[in-house]
Structure 1
């Protein structure tokens, strides 16, 4: 698989180009402790007639590097990949933290974004005082327990245990420094007052049972978007793997629907 060196980190990515087909390239950005394979179903569907790019973010999957402190720094890595691949405009599709990265790019480099798809993502993490205290205390737990608890909560009730265990194992392979630092970065992320500046068609797809980033917070953000379509699916926070067919269908409809 190809890699790109960016500020001391080798970023692993896939760039799939169809023999026939056109359209604006699709760029998939995964979330916290995940990797580019979270998008396997979506990439398999779209790569037949669209150019599709996905990467392992710094410190995740098969990418090297650590020391990243902010969502903005991860956005810089994604922009560096777009520059390297000579992609001027794309459809940015981000899951969870990846959606935060996508919003950051849409705000700082609006000329690079044709459309935006936010999957289980929000513009600001908001907690009650009690839940905020609970989240802060959870960081004091042993690392593997901290990761396991967060990934377990990400799946809707009734999800297959073996699937959940596999994603817990994969997430725990992410370096502790990366996991904990970006956990703090997500909690500090706040563009809620600026999302009205995003002037591209936007699809927001959210799991009804998402307790990591509750659907109510997404709906609060959607009100501020000038041009947003909302789709709620019977799933938890891990929509790309919990309900892959429904998510892929929602994205496909958004890209080709008569409204756009």
Structure 2
């Protein structure tokens, strides 16, 4: 395994925490995690890709050691990706993203024309602005967003978190390495020896609201508007993947992405769930390499 390098981009009050695997100077690959997680959940994928790429991953705003400003719209995340690519002076980037992190890359492609050579996006969070609906979230979706506030945020130790999450359905199929990485970097130690989620329930609830609005086709955006129409202007090849064991809403959003993107291709991970990179990292590495050929 490779010992990753850690650094941050930007001032302390707006820092984006970064992880790098492998030597500098190779073709860059930028990995972006999904909601609730951290850069280090890519470790098994990143270590394998580092033989051919300089691999970077970031803690998305609100997550890990990155800034937590309170604004969590889709364009905020795309702007953070732009900041990273400009700060590191990256060109010919292979973008690899999962869920809402995949959306970050798709929207950043419009902000950074010519910077990406290809995008490999696993079940991105997408709405089709051509089929937008009026109104807001229904009661069931609101209940799910607000239900996040009841998530347990503090535990007696990192070991207690691991034991609790090891048997939780959401993490049942994760590799031990991926789950250990999430526990180690997704929680911060407290003075009394306990640990607390870095992406607190309050932050995750705020992050999830626009995501659920996009799922329901009711996302409006902020003063910058709805950015999803920009997917029709992506200027590089995109592979949109789904996982056979995830769920219908993820497949539907993948279909929306394929309908909007000019140069899409598709791939299905059989016998895997939504967090495919943490469940079967070796298959993700194989698929990423195949798309690069």
Is this a same-fold pair by TM over 0.5? yes
Q: How many Å apart are 1:200 and its aligned residue?
A: 1.0
Aligned with residue 187 of structure 1, among 198, 208, 212: 212
The CA distance in 1 between the partners of 2:178 and 2:89, in whole Å, is 37
Aligned to 2:3: none
The unaligned stretches of length 5 or more in structure 2 are 1-5, 154-163, 188-196, 215-225
For structure 1, which segment, 30-39 or 226-235, has the greater mean C-alpha deviation from structure 2 after superposition?
A: 226-235
Q: How many Å apart are 1:52 and its aligned residue?
A: 1.1
TM-score, normalization: structure 1? 0.80
Aligned with residue 147 of structure 2, among 138, 141, 150: 141
Aligned with residue 9 of structure 1, among 7, 14, 21: 14
The CA distance in 2 between the partners of 1:183 and 1:70, in whole Å, is 10
Aligned with residue 215 of structure 1, among 247, 251, 260: 251
Instruction: Please say if residues 78 and 105 of structure 2, whose CA atoms lie closer than 8 Å, have aligned partners that are also in contact.
Output: yes
Instruction: Please say if residues 26 and 50 of structure 1, whose CA atoms lie closer than 8 Å, have aligned partners that are also in contact.
Output: yes
Aligned with residue 203 of structure 2, among 169, 173, 178: 178
TM-score, normalization: structure 2? 0.72
TM alignment of 1:85-234, pairs within 5 A: 85-124=88-127, 132-141=138-147, 143-145=149-151, 159=173, 170=186, 172-189=197-214, 193-211=229-247, 213-233=249-269, 234=271
- 1:199–1:132 CA distance, 2 compared to 1 (3 A): farther
Aligned to 1:52: 55
Larger radius of gyration: 2
- 1:168–1:146 CA distance, 2 compared to 1 (3 A): farther
Partner SS, residue 237 of structure 1: coil
Partner SS, residue 45 of structure 1: helix
Q: How many Å apart are 1:11 and its aligned residue?
A: 1.9
The CA distance in 2 between the partners of 1:59 and 1:103, in whole Å, is 19
The CA distance in 2 between the partners of 1:248 and 1:14, in whole Å, is 18
How many aligned positions are there? Answer: 248
Aligned to 2:290: 253
The CA distance in 1 between the partners of 2:263 and 2:235, in whole Å, is 7
For structure 1, which segment, 208-217 or 95-104, has the greater mean C-alpha deviation from structure 2 after superposition?
A: 208-217
